Amino acid sequence: MLEHQHIYIDGAWRSPSDDQVTEVVNPATEQVVATVPAATAKDVDAAVAAARAALPAWSRTTPAERGVFLDRLHRGLVERADEIATTVTAEMGAPRRLAERVQAGLPVAVAESYVRLLETYEFEERVTTSLVVKEPVGVVAAITPWNYPLHQVVAKVAAALAAGCTVVLKPSEVTPLDAYLLTEVLDAAGLPAGVFNLVPGTGSVVGEALVAHPDVDMVSFTGSTRAGKRIGELAAATVKKVALELGGKSANVILPDADLDSAVRAGVANVLSNSGQTCTAWTRMLVHRDSYERAVEVAREAAESTVVGDPADERTQVGPVASAAQRDRVRAHIAEGIDQGARLVTGGVEPPDGLPTGYYVRPTVFADVTEDMTIAREEIFGPVIVLLPYADEEDALRIANNSLYGLSGAVFSASEERAVAFARRLDTGMVHINGARLNLIAPFGGYKQSGNGRELGVHGLEEFLQAKALHLPAPAATGRATP
């Protein structure tokens, strides 16, 4: 069993102030595979002090100088990609193929994107007689989730470092191991002491101490809307900047002219990927009432043909959810859907056949779902799809926008023009047209209670910058002066 005994502060591995540890459980075997320190508020104070002390020098480095370190980060992640995939599979149950392609692949691509961006981004611009300079926000507390653990870390850390900020990272206590790998890479890259610091621990102790800390200038958080609201409350006392990437209940609108079977299969695959633990998953499938029963049958076939099993098996498409608590939460939602009268098409609360051990949930499809049902309104964060019929496009638009959330969505149509026109009217931060993939240099973020702020690309970099206007004297007028 792996035992991490130190936290990372001011460029060095240090013993924490307390001997408490957090156990990391493999969700496929239910066995403890590692322990990491549970840092305290005292450790947070030390980490923030180190980040504050390092800020003046780091913020004055040139983009080219910062790009050198980010290039080393990128190369280090490439070299350890196989180890990253293995680690994420062990700590949160991602199937091996998904872990290689997504859980390890996305952080590599995001790190490289910030190397490239620093080669072209202009940190100064002239606005008539003023010079506008874009400066780092300062000390950033990055608080990250467990569903895409390293990707979410790199999306914050790489952007903050590129902007000239210093960082204190609190990874999820469910999946802290990949953050240790990242820290080892940054340490080997020779990042100046204090620029990056790692304090693993719980949200109630480390997270709240970071958010409330007077010397933290910004909090970048990804997680539940409930936790995001708490962060907003705590951060308000010091009026620090807060960027929140929160929950979603995204609609997948299949217009009547779309290839129904392929659109339904794409929608099911989207939700089941990562065991449904994706904030942008298209969990509400909206289908015209004339095609509805056909869509229900295709969704059932797609869900039942998906291979659920040991994430180490190359054939597995859906592994366990990340924890016992998450398994219980998802199953409770499924039970509530049944109790509220939704038609259970496939799946349910029982564990998948042949998998008595592990935090597995059956891929589940519900039909005859109404807009007021809990499973149509709340983020389940598991392999659960709900199908809702609509009468016409205006009805589909109304249903899609009838949500507290607005993170992502999808539109399928035989006409890209028609799909784009519909997507423009959706109250959501991202829309995938006809199954298009995520663009890692386009802005990532949501509307409404899905949060505020953006990650990735230029928009992600600018979250960690603040604009200063230097108002310069107007040029002297030409010609003879007035007496």
Same domain, 52 and 155: yes
The band of 393, judged by pLDDT with boundaries at 50, 70 and 90, is very high
140-153 mean pLDDT: 98
279, 379, 455, 463: which is the annotated catalytic residue? 279
Indicate whether 483 belongs to any domain.
no
Q: Which residues contact 221 (CB under 8 A, 6 or more apart)?
A: 143, 227, 228, 231, 242, 243, 244, 245
Indicate whether 331 belongs to any domain.
yes
Same domain, 225 and 291: no
Residue 273's CATH number? 3.40.309.10
Domain count, the chain: 2
What was the pLDDT predicted at 475? 83
User: Closest Cα to residue 244, out of 379, 405, 376?
Assistant: 405
Indicate whether 159 belongs to any domain.
yes
pLDDT digits (tens, 9 = 90+) for 202-236: 999 999 999 999 999 999 999 999 999 999 999 99
Same domain, 186 and 226: yes
Indicate whether 477 belongs to any domain.
no
Percent of the chain with pLDDT over 90: 98
pLDDT at residue 482 tops 60? no
Residue 135's CATH number? 3.40.605.10
Mean of the per-residue pLDDT values for the chain? 97
pLDDT at residue 480 tops 70? no
Strand order in the sheet with 409-412: 343-346, 364-367, 384-390, 284-288, 251-254, 409-412, 432-433
Same domain, 335 and 222: no
What was the pLDDT predicted at 476? 76
Active site residue 165: no
pLDDT digits (tens, 9 = 90+) for 43-56: 999 999 999 999 99
pLDDT at residue 149 tops 60? yes
What was the pLDDT predicted at 376? 98
Same domain, 261 and 327: yes
Indicate whether 96 belongs to any domain.
yes
pLDDT digits (tens, 9 = 90+) for 464-477: 999 999 999 988 76
Strand order in the sheet with 31-37: 2-3, 31-37, 21-26
Same domain, 293 and 200: no
Same domain, 138 and 232: yes
- The pTM (predicted TM-score) of the whole model is 0.96
The band of 483, judged by pLDDT with boundaries at 50, 70 and 90, is very low
Same domain, 160 and 77: yes
Percent of the chain with pLDDT over 70: 99
Cα 352 to Cα 374: distance, rounded to the nearest angstrom: 23
What values do phi and psi take at 130, rounded to 5? Answer: -110, 150
pLDDT at residue 458 tops 50? yes
Same domain, 192 and 61: yes
Residue-number span of the structural domain to which 260 is assigned: 251-433
Same domain, 70 and 88: yes
Same domain, 283 and 400: yes
Same domain, 344 and 213: no
Indicate whether 233 belongs to any domain.
yes
pLDDT digits (tens, 9 = 90+) for 398-416: 999 999 999 999 999 999 9
161-190 mean pLDDT: 98
100, 112, 245, 463: which is the annotated catalytic residue? 245
Active site residue 279: yes
412-430 mean pLDDT: 98
